């Protein structure tokens, strides 16, 4: 059966500011096609992302505006004979690096200390073997979760918290520290570095100039690759911690399913998540992006 992947990827976005905040620091990118066809590539490549800013919205806004095209630019340097996996991975790594480099150049000039998470999903395929793959590239604690038609729920990304053993080790090796302050683990600068920012609750982020050189907070994305099960993988939720702090992965998938069974679409489902998180007492900005693999929608 011929499946038009691009046409059947359906998505909806809800983005709302926290009740106590004067402006929203969350940004998102909903379904941007990366035209790799010009590279002689038959596969489709579609990009999604959620960016949760901290210390101001400038870095999240900048990243949401520039990351996809920087990834595409890097993909155009495909080495001869590189596998699809190496090609996409290289584009993601290079695109993140370029985006942060460009943002920090201007941030250092104007003393802009903002930073952002980035949880991105690049849908790539189908290839000659009819494989469709989800490439998740993530920094920080926004998260992507997969819901399966058979009822399974799979977390596709890892939240980068400073107390994760491998993150703590990296932070300390760079001269930083990890401390628990008022119940939240934070990434701390060495004593000899002066910054108005006490500590960050994520161990990876773009921006955050005071935490770079050396990179106490890393902007290198963790990349996970998920091969789509055409018959069972039904939907992906990408959301900021304003959602995940108060809603479990399983409950989030359940909320989306309930909207679908009542005849609602992806946007309604995303709105149900941001509304539910508010009801459950989150004070943070809330962003939810719901993507369904339309050929599998039960």
Distance, in Å, from the CA atom of 150 to the CA atom of 188, rounded to the nearest integer, reads 43
**Could you tell me how far CA 219 lies from the centroid of its own chain?**
12
Assign 153 to helix, strand or coil: strand
Residue 34 buriedness (CB in 10 A; 0-12 / 13-18 / 19+): buried
pTM exceeds 0.85 = yes
Output the CA–CA distances (angstroms, integers) from residue 253 to 133, 238, 290, in the order listed.
20, 11, 10
Lowest mean pLDDT among 39-48, 232-241, 285-294: 39-48
> Rounded CA gap, 47 and 39, in Å?
17
User: Which of these, 208, 217, 189, lies nearest to 104 by C-alpha position?
Assistant: 208
Q: What is the mean pLDDT of the chain?
A: 95
Burial class (CB in 10 A: 0-12, 13-18, 19+), 166: exposed
Q: Phi and psi of 151, rounded to 5°?
A: 105, -10
What is the rounded CA–CA span in Å between residue 23 and residue 294? Answer: 34
In angstroms, the CA 280 to CA 247 distance is 8
Name, in order, each residue with C-beta under 8 angstroms of 269's C-beta and a sequence gap of 6 or more: 12, 255, 256, 259, 260, 290
Looking at the predicted structure, is the pLDDT value of residue 2 above 80? no
Segment 32-53 mean pLDDT = 90
Interstrand relation of 206-207 and 222-227 (parallel, antiparallel or unpaired): unpaired
Is residue 171 within 8 Å of residue 203, measured between CB atoms? yes
CB-CB neighbours of 279 under 10 Å: 9
Contacts of 273 (CB under 8 A, 6+ apart): 14, 237, 239, 243, 247, 252, 255, 256, 286, 288, 290
Q: Average pLDDT for residues 233-258, to the nearest whole number?
A: 99
Per the CB < 8 A criterion, the answer to whether 278 and 286 are in contact is yes
Beta strands, E only, 87-168: 115-116, 118-125, 133-139, 143-148, 153-155
Q: Please tell me whether residue 194 adopts helix, strand or coil conformation.
A: coil
- Which tens digit of pLDDT belongs to each residue from 88-140? 999 999 999 999 999 999 999 999 999 999 999 999 999 989 999 999 999 99
Question: Which pLDDT score is estimated for 212?
Answer: 96
Q: What pLDDT, on the 0 to 100 scale, is given for residue 38?
A: 66
Q: Which SS3 state, helix, strand or coil, does residue 112 take?
A: coil
The SS3 of residue 53 is: strand
- pLDDT tens digits for range 140-175: 999 999 999 999 999 999 999 999 999 999 999 999
Give the residue-averaged pLDDT of 225-241: 98
The predicted-structure confidence for 288-297, as pLDDT tens digits, reads as follows 999 999 998 6
Q: What's residue 137's pLDDT?
A: 99
Task: Report the alpha-carbon distance of residue 276 to residue 295 in Å, rounded.
Answer: 28
Q: What is the pLDDT of residue 298?
A: 52
Instruction: Show the domains of the chain with their CATH numbers.
Output: 11-296 (3.60.40.10)
């Amino acid at each position: 059966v011929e499946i038009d992947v691009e046409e059947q990827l359906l998505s909806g976005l809800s983005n709302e500011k926290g009740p106590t905040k004067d402006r929203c620091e969350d940004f998102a990118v909903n379904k941007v096609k990366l035209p790799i066809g010009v590279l002689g590539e038959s596969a489709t490549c579609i990009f999604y992302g959620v960016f949760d800013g901290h210390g101001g919205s400038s870095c999240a806004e900048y990243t949401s505006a520039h990351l996809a095209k920087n990834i595409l630019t890097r993909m155009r340097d495909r080495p001869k004979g590189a596998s699809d996996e190496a090609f996409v991975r290289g584009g993601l790594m290079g695109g993140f690096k370029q985006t942060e480099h460009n943002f920090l150049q201007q941030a250092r000039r104007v003393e802009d200390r903002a930073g952002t998470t980035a949880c991105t999903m690049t849908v790539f395929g189908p290839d000659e073997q009819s494989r469709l793959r989800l490439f998740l590239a993530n920094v920080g604690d926004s998260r992507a979760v997969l819901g399966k038609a058979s009822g399974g729920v799979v977390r596709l990304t890892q939240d980068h918290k400073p107390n994760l053993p491998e993150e703590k080790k990296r932070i300390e090796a760079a001269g930083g520290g990890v401390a628990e302050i008022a119940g939240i683990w934070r990434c701390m600068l060495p004593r000899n570095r002066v910054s108005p920012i006490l500590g960050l609750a994520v161990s990876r982020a773009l921006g955050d100039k005071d935490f770079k050189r050396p990179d106490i907070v890393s902007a290198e994305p963790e990349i996970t690759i998920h091969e789509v099960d055409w018959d069972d993988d039904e939907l992906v939720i990408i959301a900021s911690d304003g959602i995940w702090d108060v809603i479990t992965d399983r409950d989030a998938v359940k909320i989306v399913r309930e909207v679908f069974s009542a005849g609602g679409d992806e946007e309604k489902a995303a709105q149900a998540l941001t509304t539910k998180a508010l009801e459950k007492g989150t004070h943070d900005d809330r962003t939810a992006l719901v993507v369904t693999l339309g050929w599998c929608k039960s």
